[in-house]
Amino acid sequence: MTLADLAPAERAILESIGGDRPFRRRLMELGFVPGTAVELRKVAPLGDPLEFAVRGCKVSIRRREAAAVAVERTERRR
């Protein structure tokens, strides 16, 4: 599954980051490194973009790019 498949407040572990090099690099530099926990925090009212949190740092990306990031679901936050 990918980041785009998460539901709000759902958590997952990053597996691999896809997309072209500049985006991939930038996303990793923002902390989206494989093995790290990620949480979907907000979905924009029109369904895009999505806000994620990694290590407590938040960033919003579009669904389309989120779909290039493979994750493994872990848990649901209460």
Binding site for other proteins (CB under 8 A): 17, 19-31, 33-34, 36, 42, 44-49, 51, 55-62, 64-65
Strand segments, DSSP code E, in 7-64 are 10-17, 37-43, 50-54, 57-61
Q: Which is nearer to other proteins, 18 or 74 (CB)?
A: 18
Least gap, CB of 61 to other proteins (angstroms): 6
Q: Which is nearer to other proteins, 64 or 73 (CB)?
A: 64
- Using CB atoms within 10 Å of the CB of residue 11, give its burial: 0 to 12 exposed, 13 to 18 middle, 19+ buried: middle
